[in-house]
A and B are shown apart, each in its own frame.
Chain A
Amino acid sequence: MPGTNGGASNGTSVTFLEAIKQAMFEEMERDPAVVLIGEDVGVYGGAFKTSEGLLERFGWERVIDTPISESAIIGAACGMSYCGLRPICEMQFIDFIVCAFNQITNFVAKGHYLWNAPAPMVVRGPSGGGVHGGPFHSANPEMYFVHTPGLKVIYPSTPYDAKGLLKAAVRDNNPVLFFEHKFLYRRIKGEVPAGDYTVPIGKAVVRREGIHLTIISYAAMMHTSLEAAEALAQEGIEAEVIDLRTLLPLDEETILNSVKKTNKCLVVHEDTKTGGIAGEIAAILCEKAFGDLDGPLMRVTSLDTPVPYAPSLEEYFLPNAKKIFSAAKELARY
């Protein structure tokens, strides 16, 4: 996979899930102020086994199994962060983060602005569809939070970034939401370096260079976009593919630099269309690169429906390489 290892050497190839586990393990090893709190994270090791082995190593005080109470998990983590701890909260499925919506958007996010109280905490969990999880185990709720000043929102696509960004999130002084696309957990592998490293929050990366149009994506759809880009190349269309990695704060510079070069932009996300990040990117391009655009901003997204369960429905609902390919070809004609 192009560009996934960030140029690391002497590393080993690990799954996306293993990269997340390593990040938590190493951060807990590095700093005793880091604790993990969530449902079934301890003895069971997490519903997806992302925290397997952490309880054995760090004990009952640092790996905390909770009742099914997302507001209590987020609230307690916030209180801990006020005392200098750096809690990592696991949402068993990221769908359940909305059970703590008020706690996150009103309490956690506003504290620094209102009363100078930083809340260094991470909320992470498995998100996204494509695994037939149905309407309550497939969500991409990132945009609820991208609309909330005070939060940072990360949605990585590679094991290298997942590990480096999760470490950066733990060390950040702000509340960071960290979305882990569960389709990627065991399906992709990538190299991670042997030693400690972080990936900067708020920086996108160009995964594939191109000149004819820019495809902007993130998370699982980044891989689908790369697949489409390879197909486009067969037809002589060289697409530049940008992986946003962080949605808040958004790396405008990387987006603008690319669009100034290609003059065309297609945004691909698995989130539903209305209110997705594509709309925000369209507005930014209109404000700051209107004269550079040779075609309309186009988007390939999921349908504006809940995530359906049946494989036939879900496949129809989700973007895929074919849909991206068609949209890109249409855009390239401008």
Chain B
Amino acid sequence: MKKELTRQQYLDLYYYMRLNRSVEDMMVKLFRQNKIVGGLYSSLGQEAISVGTAYALEKKDWLAPMIRNIGALLVKGVRPRDIFMQHMAKYDSPTKGKDGTSHFGDLDDLHIVSPISMLGDLIPVMTGVAMAGRYLGQKTVAMTWIGDGGSSTGVFHEGLNFAATQKAPFVLILENNLWAYSTPVRKQVPLANLADRAKAYGIDSYIVDGNNVVAMYSTAKEAVERARAGEGPILIEAKSFRRMGHAQHDPAEYVPKEMRAYWEARDPIALYEKFLTSEKLLDARDKKEIEEKINALLAKEREFAENSPMPPPEFAETGVYCTGDDCHKIRAKWERPIAEVTPPRSSVEAVWTVPGFGSGEGSRGANAPMHFGDTQAAETLPAGAGKPAGKPPAKVTPQKTVKTAPTGASRKARR
């Protein structure tokens, strides 16, 4: 690791990784006391991925976590009490007991979309969030995570392909923790690097050491800014290891001992502490201060969560439908002139131009006669009707271009 962040940024990353682990440690205790209603999933050993990537987002950006992204939620501003109460099915939890784990969101303030258990569904959803942000002129980026296992779902591929054709400002973190429940990655995906999934969609990708929080952060930061600048979606493969079973009930005896030992010796927090200490960014006193701060915070948060009531039974019947303005006032937050997307300025000549018929240009192979070239809409528009003013400079009007970006760009990130 080389120094490239401010001291505060280094310490933030450390704080959130420690907080991530402490929150989960506390939930293990609550689980053993039967205070957690359903399953409990662990991100032990993967904290650098959640924390490093989410830390690259701005406040206005959107994220959608998976079950092993408690760290991302904490970075985005979710209170530990909300995470405790979600797991404990409490009435004061964000879903008021209607769902558990990290299955909650916040559309208005934190810009978090709730995940569901069906893997891959978030990819098209966050593509839509990214497209809406661009449409409204908000210059936001959307980020979500997927596992090595989840990258085999159909909707992963539908979503990523659609994001690519739309050049959506979307960053997908593929957490390769080597295990999908009990199935090793080699039995799921015949690829050495899951980042190569990106090649199929003509988008750029990175491969990062998922146990190196600085590498995770700096790569994610670069990806987020490239996506924001209009370069389209980017895939980051974070290579790591799932240290616990799929959930608490699973002792994961199928994992070879040597494999576990290898990864336990590469604990992301221990590695980072070593780096911080050697760079004189953290000493014993700082460390103790951070520990005390976290302990005090979590004691308070846990107390609040334990004191929260269970939801009243009849609450089960409420809230299936939005009842209208009294329930939710839905409004688009425009940050560009509406005149740009309404007639007459929105009007176009609705034709495609298809250059390079059969030239293979689009498929980047000179002798690929079965492939058509890039397909573009006609730009022969009346003055003022084409590209509206005030768009971000690097933005490509996406519906006009179904264009493959240079492929084979799987790059090694800084380590």
Contact = CB atoms under 8 A, between A and B. Distances in A.
A62 B343 CA distance: 11
A216 B385 CA distance: 50
Interface residues of B, number: 64
A64 B166 CA distance: 9
A42 interface: yes
Contacts of A120: 322, 330
B321 A112 contact: yes
B43 to A, nearest CB: 21
Interface of B: 94-95, 98-99, 103-105, 107, 113-114, 116, 118, 121, 123-133, 135-136, 142, 154-155, 158-159, 161-162, 165-166, 319-324, 327-328, 330-334, 338, 341-343, 346-352, 377, 397-400
A62 to B, nearest CB: 6
A34 to B, nearest CB: 10
Interface size class of A (residues with CB under 8 A): 35 or more
B338 A32 contact: yes
Given A57-B346, A77-B128, 5 more contacts: A29-B343, A61-B135, A64-B166, A117-B107, A120-B330
Given A79-B130, A106-B116, A71 B124 contact: yes
Given A61-B346, A75-B124, A80 B131 contact: yes
- Quick one: which of B103, B321, B341, B347 has the most chain A CB within 10 A? B321
Interface of A: 29, 32-33, 35, 42-43, 45, 55-67, 69-87, 102-103, 106-107, 110-118, 120, 149-150, 152, 173-174
A71 B129 CA distance: 15
Contact of A83 (B322, B332, B338, B341): B332
A232 B319 CA distance: 45
A57 B349 CA distance: 9
A35 B341 CA distance: 10
A80 B348 contact: no
B126 A79 contact: yes
Given A56-B348, A85-B135, A173-B324, A117 B105 contact: yes
Contacts of B331: 33, 84
B124 A74 contact: yes
A99 B276 CA distance: 50
Contact of B161 (A32, A58, A69): A69
Nearest to B333: A84
B332 A84 contact: yes
B105 A112 contact: no
B292 to A, nearest CB: 34
Contacts of B135: 35, 61, 80, 85
Nearest to A55: B350
Contact of B114 (A64, A73, A115, A118): A115
B332 A107 contact: no
A57 B124 contact: no
